[in-house]
């Protein structure tokens, strides 16, 4: 009998109980063994479904790779071609029957084009009730194969559906070739199990505490208590000037978050509204608050390509006058805050706007990044953009457009250290979001969700549901290194989504955040050392205090739990 269903059932059981209860369910050694067998599998069927395949490609290949999941629902299915005149196929389609609501459908396919050097190819879905205009895109090229990865979720079941592959960015007909198409369904339960598996692999680590007496003899029966002092994963929110001298807001924030970003206070329009009159009073006060509470803070932003948010006095500058103003901005801001901000969003939203490059030439962005790096070499410089991970319907900011721009900056010799994805969501599409993260992960750079919120067109309860989906998806992806919500509370309101009311009592969205933070905490673990003098457990990465007590002897000690596949061994000696 295969052990896979047994392991899946055990993992379902463990996921349903608190971490602190493991010791009372079975021995730590047995749990560690089961956990390692489970998470070390490279392709394991979980609850009658496969482990999610995070394989992705962002470079053209001479030959396409085999289909993911052996094709899944599209295995051996005949695609339909829609030919143009001549021998060109301008689009393809697949007929799909009986698609379920809430099931996550992961789609991938390899594309090669004819008749043009490059073209954007879009996958879309038409159901009996609706049309999903984009479930994935790829920039395809002539003479080599490009990988499209995406997916979709339906809100209601549909018996008759058609998935289309076609050119979307040119009036000219482009011939298309396809290969290795795949469509893999995941039930909500399977998707959640896959998320938890990734979280266990990337965000947690096994620990064994060894207790001995002063002669080095193992101590059996010592009581162990584990207290989490801090979390390794940066999770936070934007803040506004309203947090200054506001104890209720400060208390609410510090109790939850270890990361922050200033919503508007560092932007050029805020610090130099009138040319030559630079004022950093508000960001100074906000920085004092975050530093006093050991909160990681991002720098947002040095420049913003959108003319609407450039100081009015600078909007009409050109040539040397604009160059002088830009140089002054960098020197003033970066000299003052050198070493204070771990990140800088250097030139915000440059896939959508081109103010500086239009006026200063095509290499303007290269100069901005190089100057920022010279001013603060230890800060990680980010390319920050919207509609990359939220949707694939925005032709300006597809995942391939982001990758191409990033690689162009790197070829230009600039230091770009981080991928910034804003994350202003309407209805989330988790399979597409994960596919985008997979492709961006091929760049080998840390990914941050920098401005996460949910549109205010929804009720607060619906916002909470969607927010949990997005945050859980981000936290479970190994390439994501931090999440910041765009929920600064200013004059009784927030940009799109608040977490609290005016009295700093949680709304439904705030409750969703607290629920996740409690779930992703390893505080308050308790147990006793076994006959070998050891106590084992799994814990989220971070800083810990361990208290060992035996008889009248009590010892406190601290340790750091960083990422690693090996068990972290820690020794405590009772004096």
The mean-pLDDT minimum among 20-34, 103-117, 176-190, 383-397 falls in 20-34
Burial call 31-46: b when 16+ CB within 10 Å, e when fewer: bbebbeebbeeeebeb
How do beta strands 235-239 and 480-485 pair?
parallel
Q: What is the pLDDT of residue 85?
A: 45
Q: What is the pLDDT confidence band of residue 89, given thresholds at 50, 70 and 90?
A: low
Q: What would the mean pLDDT of 196-214 be, rounded to a whole number? A: 96
* 148 DSSP β-pair partners: 109
Rounded Cα–Cα distance for residues 304 and 283 (Å): 18
When pLDDT is averaged across residues 437-461 and rounded to a whole number, the result is 98
Q: What confidence score (pLDDT) does residue 154 get? A: 97
* Averaged pLDDT for residues 411-419: 95
CA distance linking residue 343 with residue 327, whole number of Å: 19
Close Cβ partners of 85 (under 8 Å, ≥ 6 residues apart) = none
Give the predicted TM-score (pTM) of the model.
Answer: 0.92
Residue 168: which pLDDT band, with cuts at 50, 70 and 90? confident
- Tell me the percentage of the chain whose pLDDT exceeds 70: 89
Q: What is the dihedral of CA 302, 306, 309, 314, to 10 degrees?
A: 80
- Segment (H or E) for 519: helix 508-519
The reported pLDDT for the residue numbered 169 is 67
**pLDDT 10s digits, 305-327:** 999 999 999 999 999 999 999 99
Average pLDDT over residues 541-547: 98
Could you give the CA distance from residue 484 to residue 440 in angstroms, rounded to a whole number? Answer: 18
Q: 23 pLDDT exceeds 50?
A: no
227 is catalytic: no
- Residue 191, number of CB atoms within 10 A of its CB: 25
39 or 162: which leads in pLDDT: 162
Q: How big is the CA angle at 224 (ends 220 and 228), to the nearest 5 degrees?
A: 155
Q: Which residues contact 315 (CB under 8 A, 6 or more apart)?
A: 307
Write down the catalytic residue from 263, 265, 272, 349.
Answer: 349
Predicted local confidence at residue 46, as pLDDT: 52
Question: For residue 192, with 0-12 CB atoms within 10 Å meaning exposed, 13-18 middle and 19 or more buried, which class applies?
Answer: middle
Contact between 562 and 232 (Cβ < 8 Å): yes
Task: Establish whether the linkage from the previous residue to 301 is cis, with ω within 30° of 0.
Answer: yes
When pLDDT is averaged across residues 262-266 and rounded to a whole number, the result is 98
Per-residue tokens: 370: 């190089």
39 alpha-carbon distance from chain centroid: 21
Please give the full DSSP string across 63-127, using - where no structure is assigned: SPPPPGGGGBTTTTPPPEEEE-STT-EEEEEEEEEEEPBS-EEEEEEEEEESSSSEEEEEEEEE-
CB 242 within 8 A of CB 265: no
Check residue 79 and give its pLDDT. 60
pLDDT digits (tens, 9 = 90+) for 451-503: 999 999 999 999 999 999 999 999 999 999 999 999 999 989 999 999 999 99
Q: Does residue 160 carry a pLDDT above 90?
A: yes
Q: What is the CA radius of gyration of the chain?
A: 26
User: What is the per-residue pLDDT across 275-292, written as a single tens digit (0 to 9) for each?
Assistant: 999 999 999 999 999 999
Structure-token pair, residue 165: 């592959």
Mean pLDDT in the chain?
A: 91
**d(C-alpha 361, C-alpha 371), whole Å:** 16
pLDDT reading at 1 higher than 70: no
- Whether the Cβ atoms of residue 224 and residue 527 lie closer than 8 Å to each other: yes
Phi and psi (nearest 5°) for 271? -90, -20
- For residues 465 and 392, give the distance between their C-alpha atoms in angstroms, rounded to a whole number: 21
Residue 38 or residue 239, greater confidence = 239
Residue 173 reports pLDDT greater than 80: no
Please tell me the least confidently modeled range out of 72-76, 143-147, 177-181, 502-506: 72-76
Instruction: Tell me if residue 349 is catalytic.
Output: yes
Rounded average pLDDT over 387-396: 97
Burial class of 294 by CB neighbour count within 10 A (0 to 12, 13 to 18, 19+): exposed
- Evaluate whether 469 touches 104 at the Cβ level (below 8 Å): no
Would you state the pLDDT for residue 78? 60
Both tokens assigned to 382? 């980010």
Q: Is the pLDDT of residue 82 over 50?
A: no
DSSP SS3 for 198? helix
Give yes or no for residue 21 having a pLDDT over 60.
no
What band does 91 get if pLDDT is binned at 50, 70 and 90? Answer: confident
In whole angstroms, what is the distance from residue 299 CA to residue 340 CA? 9
Using 50, 70 and 90 to split pLDDT, how confident is the model at 172? low
For range 161-175, the mean pLDDT: 83
User: Considering only CA atoms, which of 501, 24, 25 is closest in space to residue 11?
Assistant: 25
Which of 263, 272, 451, 473 is an active site residue? 451
Q: Please give the pLDDT value at position 575.
A: 84
């Amino acid at each position: 009998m295969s052990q896979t269903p047994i392991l899946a059932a055990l993992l379902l059981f463990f996921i349903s109980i608190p971490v602190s209860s493991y010791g009372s369910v079975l021995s730590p050694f047995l749990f560690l063994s089961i956990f390692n067998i489970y998470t070390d599998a490279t392709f394991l069927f979980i609850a009658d479904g496969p482990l999610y395949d995070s394989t992705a490609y962002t470079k053209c290949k001479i030959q396409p790779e085999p289909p993911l999941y052996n094709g899944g629902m599209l295995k051996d299915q005949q695609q339909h071609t829609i030919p143009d005149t001549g021998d060109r196929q301008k689009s393809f389609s697949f007929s799909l029957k009986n698609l379920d609501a809430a099931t996550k459908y992961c789609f991938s396919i390899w594309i090669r084009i004819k008749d043009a050097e490059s073209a954007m190819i879009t996958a879309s879905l038409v159901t009996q009730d609706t049309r999903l205009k984009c479930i994935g895109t790829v920039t395809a090229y002539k003479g080599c194969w490009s990988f499209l990865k995406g997916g979709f979720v339906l809100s209601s079941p549909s018996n008759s559906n058609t998935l289309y592959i076609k050119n979307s960015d040119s009036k000219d007909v482009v011939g298309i070739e396809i290969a290795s198409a795949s469509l893999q369904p995941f039930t909500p339960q399977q998707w959640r199990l896959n998320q938890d598996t990734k979280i266990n692999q990337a965000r947690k680590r096994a620990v064994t505490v060894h207790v001995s007496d002063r002669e080095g003899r193992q101590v059996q029966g010592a009581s162990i208590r584990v207290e989490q002092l801090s979390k390794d994963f940066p999770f936070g929110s934007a803040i506004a000037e309203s947090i200054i001298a506001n104890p209720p807001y400060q208390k609410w924030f510090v109790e939850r978050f270890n990361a922050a970003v200033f919503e508007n206070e560092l932007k050029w329009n805020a610090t130099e509204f009138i040319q030559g009159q630079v004022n950093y009073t508000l960001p100074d006060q906000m920085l004092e608050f975050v530093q006093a509470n050991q909160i990681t803070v991002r720098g947002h932003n040095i420049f913003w390509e959108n003319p609407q948010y450039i100081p009015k006095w600078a909007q009409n500058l050109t040539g040397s006058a604009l160059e002088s103003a830009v140089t002054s901005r960098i020197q003033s801001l970066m000299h003052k805050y050198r070493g204070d901000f771990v990140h800088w969003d250097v030139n915000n939203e440059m896939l959508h706007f081109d103010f500086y490059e239009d006026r200063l030439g095509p290499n303007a962005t290269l100069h901005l990044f190089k100057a920022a790096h010279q001013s603060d070499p230890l800060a990680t410089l980010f390319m920050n953009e919207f509609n990359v991970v939220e949707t694939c319907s925005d032709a300006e900011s597809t995942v391939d457009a982001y990758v191409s721009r990033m690689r162009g900056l790197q070829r230009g010799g600039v230091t770009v250290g981080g991928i910034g994805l804003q994350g202003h969501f309407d209805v989330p599409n988790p399979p597409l979001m994960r596919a985008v993260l997979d492709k961006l992960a091929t760049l080998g750079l840390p990914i941050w969700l920098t401005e996460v919120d949910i549109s205010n067109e929804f009720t607060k309860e619906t916002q909470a549901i969607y927010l949990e989906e997005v945050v859980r998806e981000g936290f479970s992806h190994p390439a994501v290194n931090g999440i910041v919500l765009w929920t600064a509370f200013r004059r009784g309101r927030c940009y799109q989504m608040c977490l609290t009311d005016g009295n700093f009592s949680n709304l439904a969205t705030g409750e969703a955040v607290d629920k996740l933070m409690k779930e992703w905490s390893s505080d308050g673990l308790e147990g006793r050392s076994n006959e070998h003098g050891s106590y084992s457990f799994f814990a989220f990465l971070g800083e810990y205090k361990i208290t060992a007590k035996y008889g009248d002897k009590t010892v406190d000690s601290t340790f750091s739990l960083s990422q690693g596949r090996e068990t972290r061994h820690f020794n405590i000696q009772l004096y």
